[in-house]
Amino acid sequence: MTITFTTTYPDTLKPETVAVLEELCGENGEGGAYYLEDALVFIDEYSESDFVEYYEEYVELGEQYTFPAVEAFVAEHGFERMEFFTDAYIGEFSTPDEMAEDYLSYESQDADSRLCIDWRETAEYLLAHEVDRVGDYYFRSSY
């Protein structure tokens, strides 16, 4: 079921969901802190219960980081683990090698700059033992 402005969402959704929508988005989607259309898309993509329980945190993290990064984390770990996103998130990188270099440079800032590191091999190790990858997004396995 696709929820759009052309459907009457108050008649389609549970009363509890409509109450939260009105609280967050204002009456008729006007005057609230959140956009009604975005909230309805979220409900359509996920669920009413996920909306009620997680939407505010989802938007906050999406605005602070990026929505695709939060969605990648949710796809891998679920909404119930979203509170750990900030601790787990490493970043978005186009290659595992870039992630490995950035990750270890940040984790061990005292590394001797004279060392030459095979970043591809390091990335393979990290991905096997410490880091999860979802597309171009990387997360610590244990957070």
Whole-number Å distance between alpha carbons of 79 and 51: 10
pLDDT, tens digit (0-9, with 9 covering 90-100), for 74-121: 999 999 999 999 999 999 999 999 999 888 887 666 666 767 889 999
Contact between 63 and 55 under an 8 Å Cβ cutoff? The reply is no
Question: Which pair of structure tokens corresponds to residue 64?
Answer: 């602070």
pTM, 2 dp: 0.82
Question: Which pair of structure tokens corresponds to residue 53?
Answer: 């329980």
φ/ψ of residue 35, rounded to 5 = -85, 130
Q: Is 75 left (phi over 0), alpha (psi -120 to 50) or beta?
A: alpha
Is the torsion defined by CA of 134, 137, 141, 143 positive or negative? negative
Whole-number Å distance between alpha carbons of 65 and 90: 11
Tell me what pLDDT residue 14 has.
94
Torsion angle in degrees (nearest 10) through CA of 33, 36, 38, 43: 120
Tell me what pLDDT residue 28 has.
67
pLDDT over threshold 50, residue 6: no
Question: Which pair of structure tokens corresponds to residue 43?
Answer: 């409900």
pLDDT, tens digit (0-9, with 9 covering 90-100), for 19-75: 999 999 987 667 789 999 999 999 999 999 999 999 999 999 999 999 999 999 999
User: Angle 96-107/119-129 helices, nearest 10 degrees?
Assistant: 80
Tell me what pLDDT residue 104 has.
84
Tell me what pLDDT residue 55 has.
97
Tell me what pLDDT residue 45 has.
94
